[in-house]
Amino acid sequence: EAGVAQSPRYKIIEKRQSVAFWCNPISGHATLYWYQQILGQGPKLLIQFQNNGVVDDSQLPKDRFSAERLKGVDSTLKIQPAKLEDSAVYLCASSFPGRGKTQYFGPGTRLLVL
């Protein structure tokens, strides 16, 4: 069974530029999560989708970050404009819907903002 796919794997941009990340969840997983993992820290939830609706975006910096999941499958996370402190690994995870369902993580996109 294919896992969670993410692209690109690495991205280097300059501050104030824009960047977008793509995630394809495991087939059949209605719930999709985006996490930010800064070096030396654990992942922090940015946004959770159930199908194409947002369940929780309380920790998403909405002035610069946006995410969408238009058809309830793939998702994109965008940063515009990027700041130095956005340098991190952006992880996508997916799960079946419901409490206590195991989240499966993709390999992440490593972003460096110069």
Partner 1 sequence: TQLLEQSPQFLSIQEGENLTVYCNSSSVFSSLQWYRQEPGEGPVLLVTVVTGGEVKKLKRLTFQFGDARKDSSLHITAAQPGDTGLYLCAGVDNYKLTFGKGTLLTVNP
- Per rule CB under 8 A, is residue 25 in the interface with partner 1? no
Residue 17 or 110: which CB sits closer to partner 1? 110
Can you tell me the distance from the alpha carbon of 104 to that of 90, in angstroms, rounded to the nearest whole number?
A: 14
Q: Which of 11, 19, 36, 48 binds partner 1 (CB under 8 A)?
A: 48
* 100 is a contact residue toward partner 1 (CB under 8 A): yes
Residue 43 engages partner 1 in binding (rule: CB under 8 A):
yes
For residue 50, give every residue at least 6 positions away whose Cβ sits within 8 Å of its Cβ, in sequence order, or none: 30, 31, 97
- Any residues with CB less than 8 A from the CB of 105 and at least 6 apart, and which? 4, 35, 91, 92, 93
Choose between 5 and 13: whose C-beta lies nearer to partner 1: 5
Query: Of 1, 40, 53, 63, which one interacts with partner 1 (CB under 8 A)?
Result: 40
Q: Are 80 and 62 in contact (CB under 8 A)?
A: no
Which residue in 7, 56, 62, 114 binds partner 1 (CB under 8 A)?
56
Q: In Å, how far from its chain's centre is CA 52?
A: 14
Where does this chain bind partner 1 (CB under 8 A)? 4, 31, 40-45, 48, 55-56, 91, 93, 95, 99-103, 105-108
